[in-house]
């Protein structure tokens, strides 16, 4: 599978690390807006071609698919360009920052019949997979998902501490992870969705704190607290409060309610959620099937985010 990587920032590198462990994958070109950083990424990962022209990258011989790790605001435009070029596409989370753009992506996917997948990594983290399998087997029933998503941010910096050309967003990016995961784990779309937000930052023009509450028809609820003001441990913690057990997931790791580790090393072929996400993308293309986390499957999360955004206005 010859792949075009779109973007050369922190998440592009996470994908490149994962793809290097997949024998069926070969990144043959990388596109970025900055010549200097794109060339540096190509050299570091042994990618034979780099460019600042996306059309040139997609036209490289043998390219079958593209992975978009570019700014959220251009995801829809780029995803449609990729599919119009006859290539499959994986779009990093969120697939868009409006419901209308997400629906445009899905419409082109249906029109072309190509694989279009959202990068909803939480579906693939071994920790969340372990919980999902227990729920599907009837061994656990989720009652309350309590999530903290905490960062400290005053400027547009990425996960590598380098300047971003775009502004991150608590609702459309960070809440998207939890909204999709909650609906995925319960198998239902939220019937109730409420949000409140704190003051808007004068320079970044975004809310720095937010609280979200969700409920699905069967009764399970989700409480999500998000902040860019947390000057302490950073990241996201998911506390699954179930009918007969409590579990805390942090990315690929899982502990029980008493902080005792749960062995999730045998859940899948890797402990890297992003690698597992990329494996699913490649396998779905090869097997001509819908991938887990397809654009169609993640659209309900985008609809819930749209409802939450409207409630804030």
Residue 119 has pLDDT above 90, yes or no: yes
* C-alpha distances in Å from residue 225, one per residue of 14, 15, 177, 181, 199: 26, 27, 13, 15, 15
Instruction: Name the token pair of 271.
Output: 């402990």
* pLDDT on residue 153: 82
Fold for domain 122-257+300-312?
Dihydrodipicolinate Reductase; domain 2 (3.30.360)
- Element housing 149 (H / E): strand 142-150
Q: Identify whether the C-beta of residue 287 lies closer than 8 Å to the C-beta of residue 276.
A: no
- Element housing 247 (H / E): strand 245-250
Domain ranges in the chain? 2-121+274-293, 122-257+300-312
Q: pTM for this structure?
A: 0.95
Encode 170-184: b = buried (16+ Cβ within 10 Å), e = exposed: bbbbbbbbbbbbbbb
Among 290, 157, 178, residue whose Cα is nearest residue 223: 178
Beta bridge partners of 142: 242
* Dihedral sign of CA atoms 199, 203, 205, 210 in order: negative
The mean-pLDDT minimum among 151-155, 165-169, 185-189 falls in 165-169
* pLDDT on residue 166: 59
Right CATH number for 2-121+274-293 from 3.40.50.720, 3.40.50.450, 3.90.650.10, 1.20.140.10?
3.40.50.720
- Element housing 212 (H / E): strand 209-215
User: Considering the chain, what is the average pLDDT of its residues?
Assistant: 95
- The percentage of the chain sitting over the pLDDT mark of 70, rounded to a whole number, equals 96
Distance of alpha carbon 279 from alpha carbon 271, whole angstroms: 12
Over residues 40-63, the pLDDT tens digits come to 999 999 999 999 999 999 999 999
């Amino acid at each position: 599978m010859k792949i075009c990587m779109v973007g050369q920032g922190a998440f592009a590198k996470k994908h490149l690390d994962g793809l290097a462990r997949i024998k069926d994958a070969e990144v043959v070109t990388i596109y970025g807006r900055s010549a200097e950083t794109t060339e540096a990424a190509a050299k570091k990962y042994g990618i034979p071609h780099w460019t600042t022209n996306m059309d040139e990258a997609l036209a490289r011989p043998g390219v079958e698919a593209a992975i978009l790790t570019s700014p959220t605001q251009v995801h829809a435009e780029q995803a449609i360009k990729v599919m119009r070029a006859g290539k499959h596409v994986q779009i990093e989370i969120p697939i868009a920052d409006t419901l209308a753009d997400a629906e445009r992506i899905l419409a082109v996917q249906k029109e072309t019949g190509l694989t279009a997948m959202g990068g909803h990594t939480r579906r693939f983290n071994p920790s969340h997979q372990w919980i999902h399998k227990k729920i599907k087997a009837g061994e656990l029933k989720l009652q309350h998902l309590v999530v903290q998503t905490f960062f400290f941010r005053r400027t547009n910096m990425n996960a590598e501490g380098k300047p971003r050309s775009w502004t991150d967003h608590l609702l459309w990016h960070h809440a998207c992870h939890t909204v999709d995961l909650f609906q995925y784990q319960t198998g239902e779309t939220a019937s109730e969705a409420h949000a409140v937000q704190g003051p808007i930052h004068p320079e970044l023009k975004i809310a720095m704190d937010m609280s979200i509450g969700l409920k699905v028809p069967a009764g399970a609820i989700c409480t999500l607290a998000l902040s860019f003001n947390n000057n302490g441990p950073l990241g996201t913690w998911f506390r699954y409060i179930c009918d007969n057990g409590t579990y805390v997931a942090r990315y690929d790791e899982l502990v029980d309610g008493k902080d005792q580790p749960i062995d999730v090393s045998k859940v899948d072929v890797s402990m890297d959620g992003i690698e597992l996400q990329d494996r699913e993308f490649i396998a779905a293309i090869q097997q001509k099937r819908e991938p887990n986390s397809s654009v169609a499957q993640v659209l309900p999360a985008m609809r819930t985010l749209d409802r939450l955004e409207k409630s804030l206005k």
